Chain A
Amino acid sequence: MTQDATTPTGEPEIERLRREVAEVRHELLLSRDQVIGSDAEVGRVNRDLTRLAQELRLTTRKLRRTTARRDELQQRLDRSRTRHEEQVKRLRSRVAQLEAELASAQTSFPRRVARAVRRRLR
């Protein structure tokens, strides 16, 4: 003899109640699964958030360090540029000055002709 879960027992009211209990128990399982599932997902998301927050903290720290380094390098670059420009200006003026000196130091053509004529006349 077997107990068939859906076979009418001859006591329809008891059978109906039994079915209802089974349905409620099944509902209970589904609901419990959803609660635990949501709880788990919240836990997982929280873990992810913690991990991401840690990563963010590390990355922010790294960003801050890198930004400070960039600013320092930018300042150094600006200083170098200014120095470079000043140097270029100084060198340019020195070249001009030397060119002028050179020009003044160079002998003129009429003088060179007169000197050559005098040499031949001697």
Chain B
Amino acid sequence: MSPARGGDAPLFSIVTPVFDPPIEVLEETIASVLGQEHRDWEWILVDDASTDPRVVATITRHMLADERIRLLERDVNGHIVAASNDGIEAARGEFVVLLDHDDLLTSDALEVNARWIADHDDVDYLYSDEDKVDDRGRTYGRFAKPDWSPERLRGQMYTSHLSVIRTSVVRKVGGFREGYDGSQDHDLALRVGEVARRVVHIPEVLYHWRAVAGSASAAIDAKPYATVAGQRAVQDHLDRTGVAGRVDQGAEPGRYVIHRELDPGIRVSVVIPTLGQSDIVFGRRRVMVVEAVRSLLARTRHQDVEVVVVHDAPTPPEVLEQLREVAGDRLVLVPYAKPFNYSEKMNLGAVAATGERLVLLNDDVEVISDRWLENLVAPLDDPRVGMTGAKLYFADSTVQHACHAYWGTHYRHPFRFWTRDEAGPFGELVVNREVSGVTAACAAMTRETYFEVGGFTETLPANFNDVDLCYKVRHVGRSIVWVANCELFHFESRTREGKAEAWERYAVVRRWGIPEEDPFTPSAVASPMIDPHRILRERIREADPGLRAPAAAPPP
């Protein structure tokens, strides 16, 4: 990253609506702005008719000492939307910086933003990580945010603080909108995201959000009107962008669920590989593939569904007969008589399929959420999305799959064993979101994307073929979306022994490598308790398997 160039450094207009903050808290906020390393800023404080005269007096005192500070006084209280819009209107800088009257900027907040702007001259929106600060000045609860994730923004206002937006773009979208109080920032972020040429995530904490009673950071449920406004903002966004769907309140305040509509004219082909095995599930013996097909058809209202079952030669004929009974004329049977190769079976199934959308499904699953197919497949209508994945549970309802994360030395399954009713550290388990990868035990792709990337690599017959497929999808410039409201049981490895070999993993590493950090599910979120020394030992072993890594320190 380049240093911010003196002559080209942008002027930042910090906009802060003010209404009766505790004076000592306001002083701390003022100190955090005055302490900025970057000097090119103006600060527009809009007093929204505070009842405490010390507020205006405090701001005036600082204004007289520093000419970069400006005070706008409103005659009547207009709430945060009106006050913020006054500030935006008065802004003279190239970028607007949104700062609440009781929060704190880190001393390098503007400097770091200036550096990123210097490196990306087409950036319209920058957001960075944040944490909270308590009344004793202690910071906690760092939110390591994902890189730009428009789907996730529909499910929650994750960009939040610190948001820095090009002034011309804020004005172009009309600033904050009246009637969205409490979620006005979410509404603005959605509208800016629709028009921004580039959105940049800065993976550094540049903002301390004060958690005091009544503040939004302490409890959004303190402001129930905010979640209603948020729901409306997301619905507006869907309507504007032509996404057919309905928004509902989510599992916790500030989270939203999107129920998507799938065009009835689209044919969906569900490709399932099977050997026709049986097992005992919930105390009863079942033919896995038959129950998988039964549940997938029962839990969708979409009519044009084709079920392509690729069956190994030893599959019992009675299983095929049961499949014919369950799926009727929707069934396409593709025999497979070679040694086990999951990838080849799926490719043959995709070749035989006639649908415009392909759903890749294991035979050891059971669909448990209604409209699963609509929610899983409809996001693929967006041409930027190349693949979607589902939320899978073990038989005991703990999470088996909620996305892949690729970082350090491994391809990982974060959030395993969280329970079904848990929302995840920052809503990760209850909102749809962009991810690095999803399991092919239940995934969907457009036929076009599947063929564009060459389907599954047949050099990986058993494991890591889905990791490779996900990398390929992102390699051709498409995103992968994990869908929280598409839920299935995955009775993993009940139909096949699951054991990954080192060479399989190496084959993927040879092609793609492993990044230091996952861009969508950062390690701090995926594995907050992970021991950094363990990572170091893993890396040493990775670099030289023959080398003896230092032993773990004994527990205290």
Q: Residues 186-217 of chain B: 1 if any A CB is under 8 Å from the residue's CB, otherwise 0? A: 00000000000000000000000000000000
A2 and B332 form a contact (CB under 8 A): yes
Q: Which residues of A contact B327 (CB under 8 A)?
A: 2
A residues in contact with B347, CB < 8 Å: 26, 29-30
Q: What's the Cα separation between A36 and B451 when bound, in Å?
A: 11
Q: Is A104 an interface residue (CB 8 A)?
A: no
Q: Which of chain B's residues have a CB closer than 8 A to the CB of A92?
A: none
Map CB proximity to B onto A8-42 as digits: 1 under 8 Å, 0 otherwise.
00000000000000100110111111111101110
A37 surroundings in chain B (CB, below 8 A): 454, 457, 468, 511
How far, in whole Å, are A44 and B507 apart by their CA atoms in the complex?
Answer: 13
Known: A2-B331, A3-B331, A30-B458. A39 touches B475 (CB 8 A): yes
Q: Are B511 and A40 in contact (CB under 8 A)?
A: yes
Chain B's interface: helix, strand, loop or mixed, by majority?
helix
Contact (Cβ within 8 A) A5 B454: no
Is the C-beta of B464 less than 8 angstroms from some C-beta in chain A?
no
**A33–B455 contact, CB under 8 A?**
yes
Quick one: which of B436-484 are within 8 Å of A by CB?
451-458, 468, 471-472, 475-476
Question: Judging by beta carbons under 8 Å apart, are B457 and A33 in contact?
Answer: yes
Q: Is the CB of A26 within 8 A of B348?
A: yes
Known contacts A4-B333, A5-B352; A40/B452 CB under 8 A = no
Q: How far apart sit A22 and B336, CA to CA, in the bound complex (Å)?
A: 14
Identify B458's interface contact among A3, A33, A43, CB under 8 A: A33
B455 neighbours in A (Cβ, 8 Å): 29, 32-33
A72 part of interface (Cβ distance < 8 Å)? no
B352 surroundings in chain A (CB, below 8 A)? 5, 22
Cross-chain contact B511 with A32 (CB below 8 angstroms): no
Does residue A48 face the partner (Cβ distance < 8 Å to B)? yes
- Contact between A35 and B454 (Cβ–Cβ < 8 Å)? yes
Contact of B475 among A25, A29, A40 (CB under 8 A): A40
Interface mask (A37-66 → B, CB under 8 Å = 1, otherwise 0): 101110110011000000000000000000
CB nearest to B344 among chain A residues: A26
| Minimum C-beta distance from A108 to chain B (A) | 77
Give B70 Cβ to nearest chain A Cβ, in Å.
45
- Residue in B closest to A32 when the chains form the complex, CB atoms: B454
A25 touches B472 (CB 8 A): no
B510: CB under 8 A from chain A?
yes
CA distance A81 to B556 in the complex (A): 53
- Evaluate contact between A2 and B335: CB separation under 8 angstroms: no
Residue A114 at the chain B interface, CB threshold 8 Å: no
Pick the contact of B511 from A29, A35, A41 — CB < 8 Å?
A: A41
Residue A106 is within 8 A (CB to CB) of chain B in the complex: no
In the bound complex, do residue A5 and residue B329 qualify as a contact, i.e. CB atoms below 8 Å apart? no
Beyond A3-B329, A28-B451, whether A36 also contacts B458 by CB under 8 A is no
The size of the chain A interface, using a CB distance under 8 A, is: 26
In angstroms, Cα B407 to Cα A13, docked, is 52
Expressed in whole angstroms, the minimum distance between the Cβ of B300 and any Cβ of chain A is 20
Asked whether any CB of chain A lies closer than 8 Å to the CB of B513, the reply is yes
Contact A36 B454 (CB under 8 A): yes
Q: What is the chain B residue whose CB lies nearest that of A4? A: B333
Rounded to whole angstroms, the CA-CA distance of A33 and B457 in the bound complex is: 6
Distance in angstroms between the alpha carbons of A4 and B468 in the assembled complex: 31
A22 to B510, CA, bound (A): 30
Q: Are B452 and A32 in contact (CB under 8 A)?
A: yes
Q: How far is the CB of A29 from chain B (nearest CB, A)?
A: 4
Contacting pair A3 B332 (CB below 8 A): yes
A91 vs chain B, min Cβ distance (A) = 52
Cβ of B69 < 8 Å from any Cβ of A? no
The answer to whether residues A48 and B513 also contact, given A3-B332, A5-B352, A40-B475 and a CB cut-off of 8 A, is yes
The docked-state distance in angstroms from the alpha carbon of A117 to that of B341 is 124
Q: How far is the CA of A8 from the CA of B151 in the complex (A)?
A: 46
Q: A2-B324, A30-B458, A36-B454 are in contact. Are A44 and B329 (CB under 8 A)?
A: no
Q: Counting CB contacts under 8 A, is B351 at the interface?
A: yes
* Residue in A closest to B327 when the chains form the complex, CB atoms: A2
CB within 8 Å for A1 and B457 given contacts A32-B451, A40-B511: no
Q: Is A107 an interface residue, CB under 8 A from the partner?
A: no
**Which residues of the other chain, A, contact B332 by a CB distance below 8 angstroms?**
2-5
Kindly list chain A residues whose C-beta atoms are within 8 Å of the C-beta of B472. 33, 36, 40
Complex: chain A residue closest to B330, CB-CB: A2
Question: A39 vs B457: C-alpha distance in the bound complex, in angstroms?
Answer: 14
CB-based nearest A residue for B472:
A36
Instruction: Please tell me which one of the listed residues B324, B329, B351, B476 contacts residue A25 in the complex, with CB atoms under 8 A apart.
Output: B351
Q: Which residue of chain A lies nearest to B325 when distances are taken between CB atoms in the complex?
A: A2
Q: Is the CB of A44 within 8 A of B351?
A: no
Q: Bound state CA distance, A5 and B310, in angstroms? A: 10
Residues of B within 8 A of A32 (CB): 451-455
Nearest CB to that of B332 among chain A residues? A3
Decide yes or no whether B334 CB sits under 8 A from chain A: yes
Complex A-B: 28 CB contacts under 8 Å: A2-B327, A4-B332, A4-B333, A5-B332, A5-B352, A25-B351, A26-B348, A29-B351, A29-B455, A30-B347, A30-B454, A30-B458, A32-B453, A32-B454, A32-B455, A33-B453, A33-B455, A35-B454, A36-B472, A36-B475, A36-B476, A37-B457, A37-B511, A39-B475, A40-B472, A41-B511, A44-B511, A48-B513
In the A-B complex, list the 6 residue pairs whose CB atoms are closest, starting with the nearest: A33-B454, A32-B454, A29-B455, A2-B331, A25-B351, A40-B511
Starting from the known contacts A1-B329, A40-B512, 6 additional A-B residue pairs (CB-CB under 8 Å) come to A28-B451, A29-B451, A33-B456, A36-B453, A37-B511, A43-B475
